[in-house]
Structure 1
Amino acid sequence: MAMKYKVYIDGQVGTTGLQLRQRLEHHPNIELMLISEELRKDEAERKRLMNSADVVFLCLPDEAAKEAVFLVENPNVCIIDASTAHRTNPLWTYGFPELSPAHRQEIAKAKRIANPGCHATGFIAAAYPLVKLGILSPDYPFSAHSITGYSGGGKGMIQEYEASDRPDAFESPRQYGLNQTHKHLPEMQYVTGISAPPVFTPIVCDFYRGMETCIPLHTDLFLKKVTKAELIAYFQDFYKDSNFIKIAHEESGFLASNLLADSNGLTLYIEGNDQRMTITSVFDNLGKGASGAAVQNMNIVLGLDETESLI
């Protein structure tokens, strides 16, 4: 019989918490510890469950996540935080195992893991190798646009988009984060080591789940002159051992944002020509961009197959 690890989700009724629960209910190695509805905000009961668990997921607003960490006194408990609160904290391990063997090893032994943000996941998957391989300088003037389904806005936005009396504007793509202070910008810069955050354009659209994050590349600013074919080869080699990140080309000439909805996959599409290229990360904002990545990190921490209960 498979060994069962105890897991508690603090914030189980939010979008990410519900997604986690759905994934973990069918995980053969997990015993999911659930809090009753009437005690959901009872600090003593939350504390009891947290300190009895092997892994605790925090699916809370930032300040609540910071406060929740102090409820865990058992040094053997691993906390995986899905909020923005700890993603640039050097005392926490950033949960993106595909970036290097060292990243994976750090996750495997960590007790405090910051789960990546959705837009940040798409940006980092493309930008990190470019800087690491010396193709682009950390001073390169990065920019990116990122299209997301409305589930990325949480329960409030989901209700707005699915309301029968919603405004006509909701039928159109809507740009937001207009002041260039989006909450994922600090981790984009911190994890990739670039000298400044990118000029970033997030866009929410009228579909439930899915995301694509696109970085335009000016080849005349490359440190290392490479053709499109060579860049594809670099990325294929960089992610050759990944179970979830793949490199592809879209033959149709159109690239949909929901191609990988309901999966934990992320595909990098390298398009354009030898003079002008784009790299676009396509994935599920609720999968590799949230709960799927959290389960993947949990599997690594517990020494399980990282693909368990993930598609």
Structure 2
Amino acid sequence: MTNPIIYIDGQEGTTGLQIFQRLGCRDDITLLQIDPALRKDTAERQRLMAQADLVFLCLPDKAAIEAVALMADMNTRIIDASTAHRTNPNWTYGFPELTATQGEAIASAKLVANPGCHATGFVSVVAPLVQAGVLSPDACLSAHSITGYSGGGKAMIADYETADKPEALTAPALYALGHGHKHLPEMSVLCGLDNRPVFNPIVADYYKGMATTVPFHLAQLNTTTQAIYDTLTAHYKDSVMVDVKLGDGSKLYANTNAGKDTLTLHVCGDDSHCTVTALFDNLGKGASGAAVQNMNLMLGFAETAGLTL
């Protein structure tokens, strides 16, 4: 069988480079590469898109929408890493663990929207609890999520890695304090929530790794920490990329899963309070690793092919 042909539109960005690293050494695909001098040439990009069986879009939202339009008359399958299509009902959300049938939906989809990094952590915690009836859709939730600076792309990486880095950048920075973070729509929609969560993202002075934490007052949910753990364990029992652990009160470090494409949920609490923390790599399960996982499903490869577990 001929190897599927893959093209990464926007390979020079952080997500595109990470996808290329995961695919570059594989002998079961054919990876098209554009002449760097032509990477913004619309005709050349469209020519490569037409040759490809699947295209990754690693572009800003507006450019991703324009790229989809370039492929409107093609049979090319698309994985879009931008925010542009994540709540679009014509696109399949690329979190295979969302439901028992989401992986099958991705496998048969032409259009797949790769999740956002912070959203991946939140959805991995909240969606299964809503689906199981442990959380009501009208719950008022909050979450905080700390990420390494690589999540901000090339400009932020340069700021943090400059020789004369400002002292302020050595401390964690809270951002999106206007409560309009771009991941909020998918966090609400994919979890089936009636209310937008209060979300506090934080960037810190380390390269990669993410910890997304959702706290719960158990009296408001009429449940227990053990029941939350049991619900999440049941939801992910067949997953090869997500596992669930019952915490023992030890510290959790946001870079624990750095360099991996997996996600681990830590359920911690007592009789009155519970937190669930998703630990993963913002460049792995939070971006490029998830994109390759989706590609594997769409093209019939082993789900974990080319990924680091």
SS in 2 for 1:67: helix
Contact 2:129 2:228 in 1 (8 A): no
Query: Structure 1 residue aligned with 2:290, among 293, 300, 311?
Result: 293
> SS at the partner of 1:189?
helix
2: CA distance between counterparts of 1:148 and 1:94? Answer: 22
Match of 1:203 in 2: 202
Distance (Å, rounded) in 1 between the aligned partners of 2:278 and 2:28: 31
Distance 1:129 1:70 in 2: 34
Q: Which residue of 1 aligns with 2:27?
A: 28
What count of residue pairs does the alignment treat as equivalent? 308
Q: Distance in 1 between matches of 2:294 and 2:148?
A: 24
The equivalent of 2:144 in structure 1 is 145
Confirm or deny: 8 A CA contact 1:51 1:73 kept in the other structure: no
In 1, the alpha carbon distance for the partners of 2:272 and 2:200 equals 23
The equivalent of 1:219 in structure 2 is 218
Question: Which amino acid counterpart does residue 138 of structure 2 have in structure 1?
Answer: D
Q: Does 1:166 align with 2:168?
A: no
Task: Provide, for residues 150-194 of structure 1, a one-character-per-residue CA deviation record: whole Å limited to 9, x for no partner.
Answer: 000000000000011121000000000000000000000111110
CA-atom RMSD in angstroms? 1.1
2:101 partner SS: helix
Contact 1:140 1:221 in 2 (8 A): no
* 8 Å Cα contact 1:247-1:267 kept in structure 2: yes
* Paired letter, 1:291: S
> Deviation of residue 3 (structure 1)?
4.3
Q: Which runs of 5+ in 2 are unaligned?
A: none
Q: Deviations over 1:211-246 (max 9, x none)?
A: 000000011111xx3322222121111100000100
SS in 2 for 1:271: strand
Counterpart residue identity of residue 293, structure 1: A
Residues 244-259 of structure 1: pairs in structure 2 closer than 5 A: 244-251=241-248, 253-259=250-256
SS of equivalent residue, structure 1 residue 116:
coil
Alignment-derived partner of residue 270 in structure 2: 273
Structure 1 runs of 4+ off > 3 angstroms?
249-252
Aligned to 1:111: 110
In the alignment, the residues of structure 2 paired with residue 155 and residue 7 of structure 1 have an alpha-carbon distance, to the nearest angstrom, of: 24
Name which of 222, 237, 242 aligns with 1:240.
237
User: Residues 51 and 74 of structure 1 are in contact (CA less than 8 Å); yes or no, is this contact kept in structure 2?
Assistant: no
What is the aligned partner in structure 1 of residue 17 from structure 2? 18
The one-letter code matched in structure 1 to 2:133 is G
Paired with 2:233 and 2:60, the residues of 1 have a C-alpha distance of 36
Q: 5 Å matches for 1:296-307?
A: 296-307=293-304
The 10-residue stretch of structure 1 (68-77 or 298-307) with the greater mean CA deviation from structure 2 = 68-77
8 A contact 1:58–1:82 mirrored in 2: yes
How far off is 1:101 after superposition?
Answer: 2.6
Give the SS at the match of 1:263. Answer: coil
Q: If the length of structure 2 is used for normalisation, what is the TM-score?
A: 0.97
Tell me the equivalent position of 1:93. Answer: 92
Question: Secondary structure of the equivalent of 1:186?
Answer: helix
1:75-134, Cα deviation, whole Å (9 max, x unpaired): 421110000000011111100111113211211111110000000000000000111100
3-state SS, counterpart of residue 212 of structure 1:
strand
Q: Secondary structure at the match of 1:257?
A: coil
Q: Secondary structure at the match of 1:299?
A: helix
Q: How far apart are residue 43 of structure 1 and its match?
A: 0.6
Match of 1:188?
187
* Distance in 2 (alpha carbons) for counterparts of 1:28 and 1:298: 15
Instruction: Measure, in 2, the Cα distance between the counterparts of 1:27 and 1:76.
Output: 24
Q: Distance in 2 between matches of 1:156 and 1:126?
A: 30
Identity among equivalent pairs (%): 54
Q: Which amino acid aligns with 1:85?
A: A
Aligned-partner Cα distance in 1 for 2:119–2:91: 17
Query: 1:25 Cα shift?
Result: 0.6
* Partners of 1:117 and 1:184 within 8 A in 2: yes
Aligned partner of residue 97 in structure 1, secondary structure: coil
Deviations along 1:280-307, whole A, 9 cap, x unmatched? 0000000000000000000000011010
Cα distance in 2 for residues equivalent to 1:28 and 1:133: 41
Question: Alignment partner of 2:275: what SS?
Answer: strand
Q: Given residue 58 of structure 1, which amino acid in structure 2 is its aligned partner?
A: L
1:72 deviates by 1.1
2-structure distance, mates of 1:40, 1:207: 30
Q: Which residue of 2 aligns with 1:178?
A: 177
